[in-house]
């Protein structure tokens, strides 16, 4: 039999984190539109930059494995948009709430990455990709100076 199965150990983890990073990106974009503070804008832009870099690396890795990227269903996307519209009522240029929500998003995202890393079913490439991304999310979370962001 000359059939080859090409599978990268840990591809399911990458796909799961990739879907969550899509959610994180849309949440951060939404929160960015709700503030006029330039310091918060640049802080969120940093988060978006390394999220985009992770997504590009993940998609290229999945393409090399000839695995199609999973996306959310239309129903779940519509449900998220409904949730955004509800959130819109509470975030009216209140910088503290926006920062708190960004930190909450980062914490829950780090928790999901830790669960995937803790599963232990990864190739070296997959592990290094997830670990590097977790390090960037965590270090950006620690670098925030709330007083500086709110003062601007």
* Residues 6 or more apart whose Cβ sits within 8 Å of residue 62: 11, 14, 15, 18, 68, 69
Tell me the pLDDT tens digit for each residue of 85-96: 676 676 665 777
**pLDDT per residue as tens digits for the range 103-139:** 888 888 888 888 888 887 778 888 888 888 888 777 7
SS (H, E, C) 40-53: HHHHHHHHHHHHHH
Helix (H, G, I), strand (E, B) or coil at 114: helix
* CA atoms of 151 and 3, how far apart (whole Å): 62
């Amino acid at each position: 039999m000359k059939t080859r199965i090409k599978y990268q150990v840990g591809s399911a983890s990458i796909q799961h984190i990739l879907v969550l990073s899509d959610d994180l990106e849309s949440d951060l974009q939404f929160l960015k539109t709700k503030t006029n503070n330039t310091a918060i804008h640049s802080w969120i832009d940093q988060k978006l930059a390394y999220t985009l870099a992770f997504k590009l690396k993940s998609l290229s890795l999945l393409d090399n494995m000839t695995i199609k990227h999973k996306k959310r269903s239309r129903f779940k996307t519509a449900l998220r948009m409904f949730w955004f519209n509800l959130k819109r009522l509470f975030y009216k240029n209140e910088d503290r709430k926006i920062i708190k929500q960004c930190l909450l998003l980062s914490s829950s995202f780090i928790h999901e990455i830790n669960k995937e890393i803790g599963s232990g079913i990864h190739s070296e490439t997959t592990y290094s990709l997830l670990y590097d991304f977790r390090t960037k999310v965590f270090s950006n979370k620690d670098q925030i100076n709330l007083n500086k962001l709110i003062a601007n």
